[in-house]
Amino acid sequence: MRNHPQALRRITAIGTVALAALSLQVGGAAAQDPGPTPGPTPGPSVVGGVPAAQGEFPWMVRLSMGCGGALYTHQIVLTAAHCVSGSGANTSITATAGVVDLNSSQAIKVKSTRVLQAPGYNGSGKDWALIKLARPINLPTLKTADNPSYNNGTFTVAGWGATSEGGGQQRYLQKADVPFVDDATCQGAYGNLIPGEEICAGLLDTGGVDTCQGDSGGPMFRKDDSGNWIQVGITSWGQGCARPGYPGVYTEVSTFASDIASAAASLGG
Ligand code: ARG
Please give the single-letter amino acid code of residue 247.
P
- What is the structure's pLDDT at 2? 33
- Ligand 1 pocket residue status of 66, Cβ below 6 Å: no
From the list 45, 82, 85, 254, the catalytic residue is 82
Assign 207 a pLDDT band (cuts: 50, 70, 90): very high
215 CB within 6 A, ligand 1: yes
Q: Rounded to 5 degrees, what angle do the CA atoms 182, 183, 186 make?
A: 90
Active-site option among 127, 215, 236, 254: 127
Atom in ligand 1 nearest the alpha carbon of residue 213: 12
What's the 235 CA to ligand 1 centre distance in angstroms?
A: 6
Q: Is the CB of 210 under 6 A from ligand 1?
A: yes
Residue 48 has pLDDT above 60, yes or no: yes
Q: Which of 112, 124, 216, 236 is catalytic?
A: 216
Decide whether any atom of ligand 1 lies within 6 Å of the 251 Cβ: no
The answer to whether the CB of 211 is under 6 A from ligand 1 is yes
Å from CA of 46 to ligand 1 middle = 9
Does ligand 1 come within 6 angstroms of the Cβ of 237? Answer: yes
- Our answer to whether residue 74 is catalytic in this structure is no
More confident residue, 30 or 177: 177
Q: Confirm whether 127 is a catalytic residue.
A: yes
For the chain, percent of residues with pLDDT exceeding 90: 83
**Range scoring the smallest mean pLDDT among 9-18, 115-124, 240-249:** 9-18
Residue 35 has pLDDT above 90, yes or no: no
Higher pLDDT, 5 or 224: 224
87-102 pLDDT, tens per residue?
A: 999 999 999 999 999 9
1 has pLDDT over 50: no
Q: How far does residue 228's CA lie from ligand 1's centre (Å)?
A: 26
For range 140-165, the mean pLDDT? 98
Q: Examine the residue annotation and report whether 104 is marked as an active-site residue of this protein.
A: no
Which ligand 1 atom sits nearest the alpha carbon of residue 239?
10
The CB of 98 under 6 Å from ligand 1? The reply is no
Ligand 1 contacts CB of residue 35 (under 6 A):
no
Q: What is the largest CA-CA distance in the chain?
A: 46
Nearest atom (ligand 1) to Cα of 32: 1
68-85 pLDDT per residue, tens: 999 999 999 999 999 999
